[in-house]
Amino acid sequence: MIFNSFMQTTTVVVPDVTNLTGEEACKKLQEVGLRCSNVRKEDKVVKTFPEAGTVVKKGRVVELYYGKKDTVPNLNRVEVGMAEEILKRTGVRYRIIYFPYGEEKGKVLAVYPPAGSVIDETKEVFLLVDSGEKEEYFLVEDFVGKRVDEVAGRPGIVITGEGERIVSQYPPPGSIAREVVLVAGE
């Protein structure tokens, strides 16, 4: 009896919020004890993750998706397997880059483009994942805005993406790191 009572208060069923605006969907999710991300005022929700009808723990974040364009979900600190599942279900192309942070093996450290960015099927999401290894570190400088040819070949620098300038980096300037992942873009 106690077990049944416990299970009933800690899990809920994700309601169907398709065809509602982001704000309406979020309100309906909150009514059953869930949280939501990627809320848009006027756009209609076309799918969620987890999907409607799924039994989840109360307090769980439900990702909202809209039309043909999606937003990058907040995957920071999520296990890489779960992050991959989320991106596969939404049809988003992605690439995993392992980084020797050494603190949270297998967890996503950062996402590019950042969470909340609008993307379409032509874009790729980069997941920076902790490899679990720990190595010697150095103070990270600010590389954003620099030309790729200025930083290419330097020790501890990994460049991904296409373009002439660095548009993003992880970890941020002022961090201590063994390697820095730089994303080249337009």
Is residue 22 domain-shared with residue 43, that is, in the same domain? yes
CATH of the domain at 52: 3.30.10.20
* Edge-to-edge order in the sheet of strand 35-37: 35-37, 61-66, 45-49
Contact predicate 135/178, CB 8 Å: yes
The percent of residues above 70 in pLDDT, for the chain, comes to: 91
Q: Report pLDDT for 67.
A: 65
> Does an H or E element contain 23, and which?
helix 22-31
Query: pTM for this one?
Result: 0.42
Cα of first residue to Cα of last residue in the chain, in angstroms, is 60
Of 12, 42, 67, the residue at which a domain comes to its end is 67
38: containing domain: 2-67
Is residue 16 domain-shared with residue 91, that is, in the same domain? no
Q: Report pLDDT for 1.
A: 47
Q: How open is the CA angle 63-92-53, to the nearest 5 degrees?
A: 35
Is residue 178 domain-shared with residue 136, that is, in the same domain? yes
Residue 9 has pLDDT above 70, yes or no: no
Is residue 128 domain-shared with residue 181, that is, in the same domain? yes
Of 67, 82, 103, the residue at which a domain comes to its end is 67
Mean pLDDT calculated for residue range 6-21: 82
Residue 160 has pLDDT above 50, yes or no: yes
Q: How confident is the model at residue 68 (pLDDT cuts 50, 70, 90)?
A: low
Is residue 165 domain-shared with residue 103, that is, in the same domain? yes
Q: How confident is the model at residue 119 (pLDDT cuts 50, 70, 90)?
A: confident
Is residue 100 domain-shared with residue 181, that is, in the same domain? yes
Q: Report pLDDT for 47.
A: 83
> What average pLDDT does the structure give for the chain?
87
| Amino acid letter for position 37 | S
Q: How confident is the model at residue 13 (pLDDT cuts 50, 70, 90)?
A: very high
Of 67, 96, 115, the residue at which a domain comes to its end is 67
Is residue 91 domain-shared with residue 115, that is, in the same domain? yes
Q: Report pLDDT for 172.
A: 95
Distance CA 35, CA 17 (A): 13
